Amino acid sequence: MKRIKVLLALVLALAMVGGGTLALAEELKDFTIDPAKIPQEKLDTVVSLAVSVRGLENPYIATIKVGMEMFAVYLDSIGQKYEMQVLDSGGDSNKEVDNMRQFAANAGGNALAYSDPNENAIAYSLAEAMAEAGGFIGTAWNKPADVGPADLTPNWVIHTSPDNVINGYNTAKALFDYMGGKGKIFVCEGMLGNTAAIDRAKGLDQALAEYPDITVAGRDTGNWATAEALTLVETWLGKDPDVGGVWCANDNMATGALQALEKAGLKGKVGVTGVDANTDIVEAVRDGFAVATVSSNGYLQGGYTLAICYAAWAGLIDVTTLPPEYREFATPALLITKENAAEYLSSVPEFDFSKPFACKAD
Amino acid sequence: MSQPTKPGAEKGPRLRDNLVKYFSFSAIVILVVGFTLARPNFLGVANLKTLLSDSAPLLIMATGMTLVLLLGSIDLSMGSVCSVANVLTVMIINELGPQLGPPALGAVVALLAAAAFGAVAGLLLGFVHVKLKVPSFIASLGFMSLWQSVAYLITAAPVSVAKVMWGGINWFKVTFGVVGLSLVLALAWVAVAYLFQSRTSFGKALYAIGGNERAARIAGTRVDQAKIVAFVLSGVCAAIGGYFLAAKLRSSAPTVGDPFTLLIVASVALGGTSLSGGRGGVLGTVVGAFTVSVIQNGMNFIKVDAYWQSIVFGFFVLAAVAISVDRSTRGLVVK
């Protein structure tokens, strides 16, 4: 009898803990930043915002910076003092870590950063740099599987990423359907070793397995760069001018592919896909020169990551009690095809940063 | 070929030497004062700790380059040798380390392997340059490309040091006040290099060859041997730099050393070592490496736009090289 009582007590306790976690998760979905709960002392402190990125020449990355500026407008509206900075690594991992260490050291515990680690392997070092200074950081896209925000609680607040395998799969499927399910394609992969590049290529391979009549006539890395993709596609066209489509792991490379096709007089006759929703590619999709791209929504990534870090800094959320699904989660992505490209171009994104977890995909 | 110095023309070089010294030492003071005025916490504990420990890999690599530049040669492959050593280090720590037992043992084996690789890389470059008479600029450019590919072949994707092995690389985070253990080790390395440069016949040979190779050869200096040793040492320095970067970033990347080639040359030039050889030394390079680190750290600190940072940095390098270059040399500037 005693054993049954103990067992019952245990079950009840577990149910309460489980229910509590569920209730907390439900609460977090609707969590709203209440400026009245932020101490005046915090509002008067200059909080340093930064986005740590690979290079602003990439239009997608530029939207992350705009996301930070949008969030800054929100901070203005609640009377929070702040300053902003872009930490540009130029694709150099060591520089990205140095930049973060310097930024965190400068702002001390008042540093908030969004970081897109240049390579997954440096995600921990970036978060560690922030943790050492007592600031708060959210990473996106790249990180190794065996480390995560839980390793540096509370300073490594979140890690988010759109699902790259699905992005790669969806754009490939759109391309293969456009080609009627058969023909040759060229593949411009992203930077070797980059998590996003690996996952998008994985999605492409899944789609290739479903379309046995699609053959790959050329496959190489374009290093995310327009010029390299242009050279690759030009070279391949010399050998296989009868290609039906070019799958690119990002829009910068899709731009290069389109330029090569234009030179060969094939623009509009060969399908092109990318990822990132750069304006020129979305326009090409609208005009029938490209088949599809995906919006990873840099505005949302930059702005909301900083909003969640801000809530942690202001003491409005306790990072130590956040459930794991609120520390690592997917952000929404949108497949852009001819059907919705014009609408996407005419819409201006608007976000309510007072609800930071609105950026969670599910 | 150097022109004989005319008695009346001595004022020129002396003025130039003073300018070099003045530029090297005053630049760092002006920069530190300027950055501190712009942001008083530039000299705060947190930033000093960052600045000093971040300088360590650059300092070690620049020391190696100094020895080569003293010859009037150049080693452009140092960045990619650093990359190969970096990926080799993490591969050994991750794959061999767990079998060896304690993480520290894996880290030591990785250090030895990286250094051995650096020595072999330097030996190959030295041999091609000295024995096959290929100018060091071209030979090292070829090896730069070769080692870049080797780094990719070892690991195309950046790899993190496995969590269980972090014990072997945590030394990089050890600090004594604002001074990190990494910097202490780097300075110890510089001290050894300084003794080599100033107290051994090898060091004297470097200056003699850089000043006038033909005269050095006639005077009985073992020119070929000294040149090869200098390249071996620069290879080892590049490899140890790669090892330090693995500890700093807890990961490897096949491109990690690429940006260092310019930083290394800049550090040595800012430190007053002449690119045409025969003048300068590792102590100046210490100042040069810190100057580079202060410029990079300080510009981020005062929020200078990334593109402007490159312009300012380029200006400093050009100014340093323009001041230190030996215009009395009428032959090949880079041998």
- Residue A145 pLDDT > 50, yes or no? yes
Second-level CATH architecture of A30-160+297-332+348-359: 3-Layer(aba) Sandwich (3.40)
Task: Please compute the mean of the pLDDT values over residues A305-312 and round it to a whole number.
Answer: 96
Q: Do A102 and B254 touch (CB under 8 A)?
A: no
Distances (CA, A) of A327 to A139, A312, A318: 10, 12, 12
pLDDT at A106: 86
**Calpha distance A309→A48 (Å, rounded):** 11
CATH topology agreement for domains A30-160+297-332+348-359 and A164-295: yes
Task: Please compute the mean of the pLDDT values over residues A98-116 and round it to a whole number.
Answer: 91
Residue A20 pLDDT level (bands cut at 50, 70, 90) = very low
Q: Do A106 and B159 touch (CB under 8 A)?
A: no
At CB < 8 Å, which residues of chain A contact B?
56, 83, 85-88, 90, 92-95, 97-99, 101-106, 108, 119-122, 124-125, 132-133, 144, 146-147, 192-194, 198
Least CA distance to B35: which residue of chain A?
A106
For B277-325, the pLDDT digits (tens) are 888 899 999 999 998 999 888 887 887 877 787 788 888 778 777 776 5
CA distance A87 to chain B (A): 7
pLDDT at B7: 45
Residue A3 pLDDT level (bands cut at 50, 70, 90) = low
Structural domains in chain B plus CATH codes: 16-31+40-324 (1.10.3470)
Model confidence, pTM: 0.76
pLDDT at B295: 87
- Residue A347 pLDDT > 80, yes or no? no
* Segment among A298-312, B139-153, B265-279 with least mean pLDDT: B265-279
Select the residue from A119, A195, A221 to test the B interface by mutation, using most B Cβ atoms within 10 A. Answer: A119
- Residue B48 pLDDT > 50, yes or no? yes
Q: Do B248 and A125 touch (CB under 8 A)?
A: yes
Domain boundaries, chain A: 30-160+297-332+348-359, 164-295
Mean pLDDT of chain B: 86
Closest CB from B46, B156, B249 relative to A105: B46
Q: Which of A52-56, A62-66, A338-342 holds the top average pLDDT?
A: A338-342
| Longest Cα–Cα distance in chain A | 85
Sheet holding A136-140, edge to edge: A82-88, A47-53, A111-115, A136-140, A156-160, A328-329
Contacts of A86 in chain B (CB under 8 A): 305-306
- Residue B92 pLDDT > 80, yes or no? yes
Please answer whether residues B83 and B257 qualify as being in contact, where contact means their C-beta atoms are separated by less than 8 angstroms.
yes
For B101-138, the pLDDT digits (tens) are 888 999 999 999 999 999 999 999 999 999 999 999 99
Q: Do A124 and B245 touch (CB under 8 A)?
A: no
Contacts of A194 in chain B (CB under 8 A): 157
pLDDT at B13: 59
Angle A259-A261-A262 from CA coordinates, rounded to 5°:
65
pLDDT at A26: 63
Count A/B contacts: CB-CB distance under 8 Å: 101
Q: Which of A191-200, B112-121, B160-169 holds the top average pLDDT?
A: B112-121
Report whether the peptide linkage leading into residue A356 is cis, meaning its omega lies within 30 degrees of zero: no
Closest CB from B41, B162, B249 relative to A94: B249
Counting residues of chain A whose pLDDT is more than 70, the rounded percentage is 92
pLDDT at A21: 47
Angle B113-B115-B117 from CA coordinates, rounded to 5°:
70
Provide the strand spans (E) within chain A: 47-53, 82-88, 111-115, 136-140, 156-160, 183-189, 214-221, 245-248, 271-273, 293-295, 328-329, 334-336
pLDDT at A2: 53
Mean pLDDT of chain A: 89
Contacts of B155 in chain A (CB under 8 A): 193
CATH T-level fold of A164-295: Rossmann fold (3.40.50)
- Residue B166 pLDDT > 80, yes or no? yes
Q: Which residue has the higher pLDDT, B3 or B70?
A: B70
Residue B31 pLDDT level (bands cut at 50, 70, 90) = confident
pLDDT at B331: 46
pLDDT at A52: 94
Amino acid present at A186: F
